[in-house]
Amino acid sequence: MSKAKRTLDWISVTRMASGMDLKVAVHILEGKADGPTVVLTAGIHGDELLPIEITRRVVREIDPDVLSGRLIAVPLANPLAFESFTRHTPTDMHNLNRMFPGTADNWITELLAKALVDYLVPEMDVLIDLHSGGAIPTVDYVYALNDLELSRAFLFPTLYRGSSYPGSLGTHVIETTGKPVVVAEIGGGNRLDDQYLERGIRGVMNCLRKLGSLSGEIEKAPEQLLLTKMQILRPHYGGILEPKFQADRLGQSVAKDTLLGLTRDAQTFEVLEEFHAPFDPTHLVLARGILSKVNPGDYAYMLGDSATAETLPAQ
C-alpha cells in the first residue's frame, strides 16, 4: 500500500417513504503497511449508545500512518432504530441482528442487512461487533466464538462459549467465511458509562494490536471465566421490575436461589414474579440495575453457571 488515508464512505440502502435516503456511514482508515482488514461494527441495535461512542473514539485515536492494513468502522449500522432509540427497526419491527445476510426482496431491515453484508463481508479478515445492554439493562461479557485468543484479548473478565444467534452478523460471517469474530457486550443502561467506555476502547485497541493492525505491546489477558452454560430470565408478566442488585455487581457470583429482583403490578402493587439465581453458584452477566418497566419476554437477567465454567489462567 502506498499512502495512509482516512475516508468517509456511505452504504446506500434505499429511499424512505419520506423521500429521505437511508444510508449508513463507513469510516475507512487505510494504513501504509500491509495488514488485515478489520471490520468494526456498532449500532446494529438502535438503543445501544456506548458502542457508537467507543467506535468514534477508536477511529479518532488511530493514526492511519501507524496502521497496518485497514480498519473499516460502521458506528451506526441501523440508523432507523437509533432514531427511535429502539432495539428493533420501527418501520417493520424487525431485529437487524436476526436478519443477516438479508435479501433484496423483503422487509426494510432485510434490505439493510443485505446492503451491510454486500459492502462489509467481502472485504473483511476479522469482525469485531460491539453491543450493549440497551436503554435499561447493563451487560458485561465477550463471546468466545471461533477465536478464543482474540476474544481473550478484549480483556473482559467474563467470556461465553456459546453460539451467537442465527441471523446475527457474527453467525453469518462465521458460517460463510470462517473468519475470526469477536462480539462484545459492553455495559448499557447508563450505568458505569465511563468505566465501560474505557474498557471497550481498551478491548478494541488490544485486539487490533493482537491482530497486528497496530504495533505496541499486547496487553496480556487477566484470569478470565469462560462460561459454557447461560440462562436468560425473561419476565412472564409485565409490570415494574424492582432490582435487588445494582449493575456494579456484574461479574460477581451469588449463591443459588438468591433473590435478584421482582416484578410488581404497577396498579395493584401485587408481586407477580420473583427472579432467583438458578445456578450454584450463579455468575451475574446481565441485570437491570434500576427500577424499570418490563414487558413479558423482555431481557431481565442473563446468568451463568459458575460450576461448569472454566477458569482461564492469566497470560
Footprint of Zn ion (CB under 5 A):
45, 131
Smallest separation, CB 79 to Zn ion (Å): 15
Smallest separation, CB 39 to Zn ion (Å): 16
CA distance to 58, 172, 190, 197, 199, per residue, from 194 (Å) = 15, 32, 9, 5, 9
Helix (H, G, I), strand (E, B) or coil at 287: strand
Nearest position to Zn ion, beta carbon: 131
Give the CA-trace dihedral at 282, 285, 288, 289, to 10 degrees.
90
Please, which residue, 45 or 152, has the CB nearer to Zn ion? 45
Smallest separation, CB 21 to Zn ion (Å): 25
Residue-wise DSSP of 149-200? HHHHTT--SEEE-SPPPTTSHHHHHHHHH---EEEEEEE-TTSSHHHHHHHH
Per DSSP bridges, beta strands 282-288 and 239-243 are: unpaired
- What's the rounded Cα separation, in Å, for the pair 230 and 213? 33
Smallest separation, CB 44 to Zn ion (Å): 6
Please, which residue, 27 or 88, has the CB nearer to Zn ion? 88
Please, which residue, 199 or 210, has the CB nearer to Zn ion? 199
CA distance to 82, 108, 253, per residue, from 96 (Å) = 12, 10, 32
Please, which residue, 131 or 283, has the CB nearer to Zn ion? 131
Smallest separation, CB 45 to Zn ion (Å): 4
- Which residues is 143 bridged to in the sheet? 160
The C-alpha cell of 126 is what? 476479522
Please, which residue, 279 or 299, has the CB nearer to Zn ion? 299
Smallest separation, CB 193 to Zn ion (Å): 16
Maximum distance among all Cα pairs of the chain, rounded to whole angstroms:
69
Please, which residue, 45 or 172, has the CB nearer to Zn ion? 45
Smallest separation, CB 66 to Zn ion (Å): 31
Please, which residue, 45 or 199, has the CB nearer to Zn ion? 45
